[in-house]
A and B are shown apart, each in its own frame.
Chain A
């Protein structure tokens, strides 16, 4: 219960901050439109049967790039004021930090896909099955974004907590999230081709998501403040005794 209350409080704080300027939402939505325009220019002339292969790629590549931008901006705010460090030394469950940040990033990403998916349906006639099965499409996009955010939040936070440059996020994020994106690509293509086993892909996506969320939440504290029990305070104690790195 304490964890849920902490997640809710942190999430509300994040949302309040976002509502003041709409910075992350607007930049992500605008970037989604830019990505759509680029895909329309490069792939818009494809015949419908080729679009069945192009649309999944356009959708999930856009999600990958918009997600990368979103995560960078979400944690830039923390970096600018060094507030992530303050949160980490505060009496807050680290998992609450992870889940609240992931929830914010997920919300922004879902808003971006709310621009992306209808846009792709308008641009590419081959994407029409996504409009015909809105529930399946929504579930697929949600599951895909959850997997992406589960991985991304961990590493964006890791870079924000240290002195790492944001450019490293793309270096880490894209190779690691490609398996999730590949599952999403297959599910989207199955939907567009009206594959009879398309529903089974949602189950697989959910299973991959569970693995990634559990792993991300479990690794959040060790990656940010170090493992070995006791977190930052214990680490500081060990350093003071000259035992760091042993």
Chain B
């Protein structure tokens, strides 16, 4: 019962927390001195960045389980995670240049993390293209792609440390003043709840669609055996 309504509950909770977090971000936190209002992007950009990485990892792990056990649920989890990773990644890539323009004077600096995030997003997009438009049997190929995509995540993290970068280091998040932290957490919570709620709904929908297909095939087979037309 709890499992049945958990995604709806998460979306409902997100709908309640999100306006509160927006109010905290825009009304309760001070305007940053150098970046001005553009700093508010931080509260959306960072959670979406984290979620893009998380979804890529979830997609990779689910794809590995799908390959190993031929699990319908794992296949659905991988696809749902990729779709949400795609949306979150798009959010990161759209908000990042606004931040960059305010901070560095130009929207795209070719910075290592910008490039790597764009790259991870391209891998997720390629996975979705293969899943949706690939030929028959391409699910396994897409799963391999997702696993490689997940392996890219630590390489991306390492790239930030390896290459000279203009991007804020990961320590910047930890050095925020308490007032900003207080506004950051509700926003992160709302985005997390919304993402996982949507993911739960999408997984359920994909599993049901697959079960429906299988039921249709079974009925068609039975009708064909009995010599009657299934339609």
A residues with a Cβ closer than 8 A to B are 151, 154-155, 158-159, 161-165, 168, 171-172, 175-176, 178-179, 182, 186, 204, 208, 211, 215, 219, 222-224, 226-228, 238, 242, 244-246
Contacts and interface: CB of A to CB of B under 8 A. Distances in A.
Given A175-B119, A223-B144, A164 B138 contact: yes
A226 B141 CA distance: 10
Given A179-B155, A186-B162, A228-B68, A219 B147 contact: yes
8 contacts: A159-B141, A162-B138, A172-B145, A176-B148, A176-B152, A178-B122, A226-B70, A246-B72
Interface of chain A, helix or strand or loop or mixed?
A: helix
Contacts, number: 97
A176 B123 contact: yes
Interface stretch (B37-45, B126-134, B169-177): B126-134
A154 B151 CA distance: 15
A179 B130 CA distance: 20
Contacts of A211: 151
A238 B69 CA distance: 12
Nearest to B112: A182
B48 interface: no
Interface of B: 67-72, 115-116, 119, 122-123, 125-126, 129-130, 134-138, 140-141, 143-145, 147-149, 151-152, 155-156, 159, 162-163, 210, 214, 218
Contacts of B163: 186
B162 A215 contact: no
Contacts of A227: 67-70
B72 A223 contact: no
A168 B136 CA distance: 13
Given A164-B141, A171-B126, A244-B70, 10 more contacts: A162-B138, A163-B137, A172-B130, A175-B123, A179-B159, A186-B163, A208-B155, A219-B67, A222-B67, A245-B70
Given A151-B148, A245-B214, A168 B130 contact: yes
B147 A164 contact: no
Contact of B162 (A163, A204, A226, A246): A204
A37 to B, nearest CB: 27
Closest A-B pairs by Cβ, 9 of them: A175-B122, A222-B67, A162-B137, A223-B144, A158-B141, A227-B67, A163-B135, A227-B68, A175-B123
Contact of B69 (A154, A162, A215, A228): A228
Contacts of B137: 161-164
Nearest to A164: B135
Contact of B145 (A164, A176, A182, A222): A176
Given A162-B135, A179-B159, A245-B210, A222 B72 contact: no
A168 B135 CA distance: 10
A237 B25 CA distance: 58
Nearest to A186: B163
B68 A155 contact: no
Contacts of B159: 179, 182
Contacts of B68: 222, 227-228
Contact of A155 (B119, B129, B145, B162): B145
B5 to A, nearest CB: 26
Contacts of A179: 116, 119, 152, 155-156, 159
A159 B145 CA distance: 12
B149 A176 contact: yes
Contacts of A238: 70
A164 B134 contact: yes
Contacts of A168: 130, 134, 138
Given A245-B70, A245-B72, A223 B129 contact: no
Contact of A226 (B67, B135, B210): B67
A165 B137 CA distance: 12
A211 B152 CA distance: 11
Contacts of B214: 245
Most buried by A among B123, B147, B148: B148
A158 B87 CA distance: 27
Nearest to B136: A163
A160 B24 CA distance: 54
Nearest to A170: B126
